């Protein structure tokens, strides 16, 4: 293994099931030691990509390289990867220790050595104390950690994880997210993590591929995807967005094409914001929803669209906006993101008639 090769390289990877193209010409390189996520709605092809990498499915066309070696024709056990499934697939009749040592046993590792290595793997997920228990005597989160130890004990170069936290409740899920990240950092191996949960992907990943209908719609760091979504699909799937089609972009933003503004980039007040780049639009409050950590205020702008504004629950901010209140929604022009390749009007383009009309005397 050299640094010159990515951990995984997919070239033109395609998988058809009869009429269904589950994976459609995917090109992708994943670096050694990367925490990489494949994010997308149900049916977008994530699991199929994972199964192709693992060797459980044969590609219709295209190739798969692991650390520079073409493994497209190799059997699953000849590939230096291991998989953690959502349902853990632990053996109920075996102790935790024997479950973890299983992969070593089938590889012919002697008892003493395999128990030592299994204990070490259990220590990496902080479960040494549970070695003698049966899976049924563990909590969901502990079972998940056993599955992780069992997959890492054979020291694969890459670990494939298919929605591994899907069966856990929210609190445990958030706890396990932190642990997964720590385990990955400690082991230093490549993680390829499949999820349909955008928050989970943003929290964990070095980079994320957003899948849509068997294709990668956008590839980038969490911040790149969130701050600069390239399409309406990504803007809407990763976080929530206020989307403006061409007509509304022209009317409200003074721009050509489709655009997105994140709810937390907007504020609601009684006075327009001034200064360079400040933009304002008048509207009427439809609903103010108390969220604990913040307030979501839904406003119908006079210029047409309904926008959602997310405000932090900070000291001094009185959230008493109510249905029917007249307000000004403000944002900064830099927080407007062009999606689907929409062109941005030149700097000196005339500001929007609608917003000027709504806010007479106000300009950027």
- Residues in contact with ligand ADP by CB under 6 A are 17, 20, 22, 40, 42-48
Q: Residue 22 binds what, of ligand ADP, Mg ion, none (CB under 5 to 8 Å, by partner type)?
A: ligand ADP
CA–CA dist 225, 229 (Å, integer):
5
Half-sphere exposure of 166 (CA within 13 A, CB side): 15
Q: Which of the choices Mg ion, ligand ADP, none does residue 10 contact, using the CB cut-off of 5 to 8 A by kind?
A: none
Q: Cβ 195 to ligand ADP, closest distance in Å?
A: 10
Question: Is the separation of the CB atoms in 331 and 264 below 8 Å?
Answer: no
Q: Cβ closer to Mg ion: 10 or 307?
A: 10
**What minimum distance in Å lies between the beta carbon of 358 and ligand ADP?**
43
CB of 169 to Mg ion, least distance (A): 20
Beta carbon nearer to Mg ion, 88 or 244: 88
The answer to whether 246 and 345 are in contact (CB under 8 A) is no
Phi, psi for 256 (deg, rounded to 5) = -90, 130
Please, which residue, 47 or 184, has the CB nearer to Mg ion? 47
Dihedral pair phi/psi, residue 327, rounded to 5°? -140, 170
Nearer to ligand ADP, 37 or 48 (CB): 48
Q: Which of 214, 208, 225 shows the shortest CA–CA distance to 39?
A: 208
4 CB-near residues (< 8 Å, 6+ apart): 68
Kindly state the smallest distance separating residue 100's Cβ from ligand ADP, in Å: 27
| CB 112, min distance to ligand ADP, A | 40
As a whole number of Å, the end-to-end CA separation of the chain is 55
By a kind-dependent CB cut-off of 5 to 8 A, residue 44 interacts, out of Mg ion, ligand ADP, none, with ligand ADP
The residue among 86 and 240 lying less far from ligand ADP, judged by its C-beta, is: 86
Interacting residues toward Mg ion by CB under 5 A: 47
Q: Quote the least distance from Cβ 45 to ligand ADP, whole Å.
A: 4
- Among 323, 180, 339, 334, residue whose Cα is nearest residue 246: 339
Q: Which residue is nearest to Mg ion (CB)?
A: 47
C-alpha 241/C-alpha 98 separation (Å) is 48
| Contact present, 226 and 241 (Cβ < 8 Å) | no
Q: Tokens standing for 142? A: 């502990």
Choosing among ligand ADP, Mg ion, none, which partner's interface includes residue 17 (Cβ < 5 to 8 Å by kind)? ligand ADP
Pick 81 or 358: Cβ nearer Mg ion = 81
């Amino acid at each position: 293994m050299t640094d010159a090769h990515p951990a995984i390289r997919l070239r033109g990877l395609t998988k058809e099931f009869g009429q269904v193209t589950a994976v459609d010409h995917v090109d992708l390189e994943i670096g050694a030691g990367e925490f990489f996520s494949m994010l997308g709605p149900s049916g977008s092809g994530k699991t199929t990509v994972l199964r192709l990498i693992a060797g459980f499915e044969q590609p219709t066309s295209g190739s798969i390289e692991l650390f520079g070696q073409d493994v497209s024709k190799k059997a699953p056990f000849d590939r230096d990867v291991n998989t953690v499934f959502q349902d853990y697939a632990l053996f109920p009749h075996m102790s935790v220790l024997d479950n973890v040592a299983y992969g070593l046993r089938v590889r012919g590792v002697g008892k003493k050595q395999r128990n030592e290595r299994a204990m070490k793997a259990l220590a990496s997920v902080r479960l040494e104390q549970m070695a003698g228990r049966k899976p049924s005597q563990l909590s969901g989160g502990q079972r998940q950690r056993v599955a992780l130890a069992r997959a890492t004990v054979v020291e694969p170069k890459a670990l494939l994880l298919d929605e591994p936290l899907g069966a856990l409740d929210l609190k445990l899920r958030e706890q396990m997210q932190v642990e997964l990240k720590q385990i990955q950092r400690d082991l230093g191996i490549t993680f390829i993590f499949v999820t349909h949960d955008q928050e989970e992907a943003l929290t964990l990943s070095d980079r994320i591929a957003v899948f849509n209908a068997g294709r990668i719609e956008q590839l980038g760091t969490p911040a790149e995807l969130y701050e600069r979504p390239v399409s309406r699909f990504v803007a809407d799937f990763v976080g929530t967005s206020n989307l403006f089609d061409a007509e509304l972009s022209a009317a409200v933003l003074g721009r050509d094409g489709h655009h997105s503004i994140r709810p937390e980039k907007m504020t609601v007040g009684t006075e327009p914001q001034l200064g360079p780049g400040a933009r304002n639009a008048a509207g009427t409050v439809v609903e103010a929803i108390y969220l604990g950590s913040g307030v979501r205020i839904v406003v119908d702008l006079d210029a047409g669209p309904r926008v959602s504004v997310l405000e932090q629950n900070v000291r001094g901010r009185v959230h008493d906006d109510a249905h029917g209140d007249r307000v000004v929604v403000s944002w900064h022009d830099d927080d407007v993101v062009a999606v689907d390749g929409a062109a941005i009007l030149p700097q000196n383009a005339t500001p929007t008639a609608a917003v000027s009309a709504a806010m007479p005397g106000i300009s950027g």
